[in-house]
Structure 1
C-alpha cells in the first residue's frame, strides 16, 4: 500500500486536494483515507455507541444500512495506516500528520523541519494530479500480514488452493546472553528486491504451490514489532509447510539485508538477520 499525507495551514485546500487525489487514485486501485482530528470527538456521548465507549468498551462498532464505523482507544496515525492496509487498500491518503515520517505533499508555506516532503505546491491551485499520482506510486510499500493474505486470496488459481500458511518474524527481546532494545535493518534495495523475487519464482515452481508473497522491512524496528512476512498458498498442506520453511531459510541466507542489534550493553551487526 502506498501512503501519502497532505499537510498545510488552514484554508490551503488540504481537503480539496485529498478529494481530488482520491478520485484519481481510485482509477488505479482501492483508496482509503484518514484525517487527523485531535481536537474532535466523532462519537456522540449521548448516542448508544458513545455510552458503550464511555462505559469502558475498548472497541465499539456501529453497523448502519450504509456504514460500518469502528471507535477504539489509544488512537494513532500508525494504527490508522495499518487498519487501511489490513482492509486491502492500495493507497492511503492522510490529511494531516505533519510530525510523522510519512511522505508528504505540502500546500502553501509550512515551517522548516517537516520531514519527507515529496512535493511542495501552492495553496488552492490548479494542481497537476497526474504528476502527484506518479509521485505517490513511487513511494515505498506499507505492508501488513492481513494485506498479504487478502492479496494472495485474489491470485489467479486460488480455486486450487486448499491452504494458506504464513510466517511472521518479530523482534525478540530476550536473547539469553543480551536483551534487544531495537533492531536496525539495511539493504541494497535493488539487489534485495531481485533476490526476493528470484526466491518467490523458484518456490512457485514446486508442485502444488500456487503463490508466494514475501516482505522484509528495513529501518528501525522496535521490540515485538514485525520484521518479515512470508505467505504461501498451496493445494495441500503436505506441499505448503515444506515450501514455507524453505522460503524462510532462503530469505535468511540469500537476501542482502543486514541486521544490527541495539542492546542495553552495546551494538553489533548480526549475520543471521531474520
Structure 2
C-alpha cells in the first residue's frame, strides 16, 4: 500500500486535495483515507455504541446497511494504516498528521520547517494542482506492508486454486537473548541490493515444484522489543513443500540479504556482527 500525507494549516485546501486524489487513485486501485479528528467523538455517549464503549468495551463495531465502523481504544496513526492495508487498500491518504514521519504533500508555508519532516513536495494553498503529477509521486513512495496484506496478495494469485495451504513466518525482536535484555534493534539495508536479493529468493523459491507463491518483506529502521521484523508468506500444493520452503526462505534471507543490525540492550549498544567476531 502506498501512503501519502496531505498536510497544512486550517483552510489551506487539504480536504479538497484529498478528494481529488481519491477520485484519481480510485481508477487505479482501492483507496483508503485517514482523517485525524483529535477533538471529536464518533460514538457519543447517548448512542448505543457509545454506551458499550463507555462500559469498558475495548472494540465496538457498528454496522449499517452500507457501512462498518470499528471503534477502538488507544488509537494510533499506525493502527489506522495497518487496518487499511489489512483490508486490501492499494493507496492510503492521510489528511492532517503534519507532525508524523509520513511522506507529505504540504500546502502553504510551514511555520516551523524544522518541526515538519519528510515534505516531498510543497504546494500553494487552494490552487489548481497537477493531480496527475501528484499521483505519480504517490506511486514512488515505499510500500506500507502488513502480514495480512501479504496474505491477501497471495490469495489474489490466479494459481491459488492449486494451493492446499498458506503458511507464514513472522520474525520479531527477541527481548531476552543470552540473559541480556534487548530494547530495540536498528536494521540498516544496502539500498537496492537488499531488495533485489529478496526478490531473487522469492523467484528461486517459486521455481520449486508445487510452490504457488512466495512473498517476503523485511523491515528496516528502529524496531522495538517484541515488534515484527520480517514476514514470509508461502502458498504451496502440499504441506511438506510448504514448511520446507518457509525454512529455506528464512535461511536464504540470513545468508544473502545485506541487512545489518545494531542491537540496543540494557548493557550497551553494538553491531551484531561485531559481537559475533
Cα RMSD of the aligned pairs, angstroms, is 1.3
The unaligned stretches of length 5 or more in structure 1 are: none
Provide, for residues 107-129 of structure 1, a one-character-per-residue CA deviation record: whole Å limited to 9, x for no partner. Answer: 01222421000110000000001
Q: What is the deviation of 1:271?
A: 3.8
Partner of 2:249: 247
Q: What is the deviation of 1:132?
A: 0.7
Partner of 1:155: 157
The answer on whether the counterparts of 2:99 and 2:115 sit within 8 Å (CA) in structure 1 is: no
Partner of 2:90: 90
1:56 matched to 2:68? The reply is no
* TM-score, normalised via structure 1 length: 0.97
Q: What is the deviation of 1:154?
A: 0.1
Aligned partners of 2:41 and 2:24: how far apart in 1? Answer: 30
* Secondary structure of 1:179 counterpart: strand
* Secondary structure of 2:176 counterpart: coil
Partner of 2:202: 200
Q: Map 1:1-274 onto structure 2 (within 5 A).
A: 1-111=1-111, 112-271=114-273
Which aligned runs of 4 or more in structure 1 are off by greater than 4 angstroms?
Answer: none
Moved more, 206-215 or 186-195: 186-195
Provide, for residues 48-83 of structure 1, a one-character-per-residue CA deviation record: whole Å limited to 9, x for no partner. Answer: 111111111000001110000111100111111111
Aligned partners of 1:47 and 1:181: how far apart in 2? Answer: 42
The answer on whether the counterparts of 2:8 and 2:14 sit within 8 Å (CA) in structure 1 is: yes
